[in-house]
Amino acid sequence: MFECKKVAAVNDISGIGRCSMTVIIPSLSAMGIQVCPVPTAVLSAHTGFDEYVFRDLTDYIKPALGHYKKIKYKFDCIYTGFLSSEEQVDYCLEFFDSFKVSLKVCDPVMGDGGKTYPTYTKKMCERMIELVRKADVITPNLTEAAILLGEEYQPVAMTSSEIKSWLVRLSEIGPNVVVITSVSLAGSGLCNVGYDKEHSTFWKVVCDYVPAHYSGCGDMFASVLVGGLLKGDSLPIAINRATAFTELAIKTTFSYSAEPSDGIMLESCLNWLINTQIFKDYETL
């Protein structure tokens, strides 16, 4: 019998603004992967809005995890993202520990553009490193990578050797695969870069700069990367696929002059994920 891969997605659900679960579920579903949502919080809108209703679901996660353990459910991947309390770090660790054969992916969602998101406390950011330590794959943006390394976020182009050293240092915390998004690289421009510790390989996929910022891009990138890896893509091809789709969705959104806080217009692009053969468009870093 055909069984599709199953991903436990530990992330929030935001009613408006297309991010987290409302991006993860359609993206992975389009790739033929089942998403099992483990909501960390329910929000009326993402935290980029001036106002939002926020319901923390910390007390839901532990019994939900208990249920999945009791019935010995098999997840192919545990993929963590936006957390809404410090305690949720403990439950994510317990998820990682309980499903030993699953691919453990941590998108260490904490901030963007040099700033942390308003619901993230200093302590939550400090504790994120515990999840990174146990993950197989991490997908920070440049802001999150800086927080994890205790570095200053600087909105200036980095050299290849600087970003390679960040990738290696992050992998030394634990994960075998590190992908950093939204890196401005001297001589290349905007790119997503990756490192595979086991094979000592560095990769980069260059993307076009679009002068707008939409919520949910990081969630979209990480979801498609996870989907690609679960379907057998090599790391550079998964980065290539995730970059190409995110770039397509960003350019589509920009072309409609859409309101940035409404997030990325993925509905009109999802067929690309279902049908497209990816061009092998990566380079070594």
Q: What letter would DSSP give residue 268?
A: T
Residue 250 Ramachandran class (φ > 0 left, ψ -120 to 50 alpha, else beta):
alpha
Distance CA 25, CA 34 (A): 8
Contact 51, 23 (CB under 8 A): no
Distance CA 192, CA 237 (A): 12
- Closest to ligand PXL by CB, 105 vs 237, is 105
Minimal distance, residue 48 CB to ligand PXL, in Å = 5
- Closest to ligand PXL by CB, 264 vs 285, is 264
- Closest to ligand PXL by CB, 43 vs 137, is 43
Q: Which two tokens stand for residue 29?
A: 């579903």
- Closest to ligand PXL by CB, 12 vs 233, is 12
Distance CA 38, CA 80 (A): 9
Minimal distance, residue 29 CB to ligand PXL, in Å = 18
| Residues near ligand PXL, by CB under 6 A | 12, 14, 19-20, 43, 46-48, 82, 109, 117, 215-216, 218-219
Minimal distance, residue 43 CB to ligand PXL, in Å = 5
- Closest to ligand PXL by CB, 119 vs 252, is 119
Total residues belonging to the chain: 285
Distance CA 127, CA 122 (A): 9
Minimal distance, residue 54 CB to ligand PXL, in Å = 8
Distance CA 10, CA 30 (A): 19
- Closest to ligand PXL by CB, 47 vs 181, is 47
Minimal distance, residue 200 CB to ligand PXL, in Å = 31
Distance CA 164, CA 203 (A): 10
Q: What letter would DSSP give residue 174?
A: S
Minimal distance, residue 246 CB to ligand PXL, in Å = 12
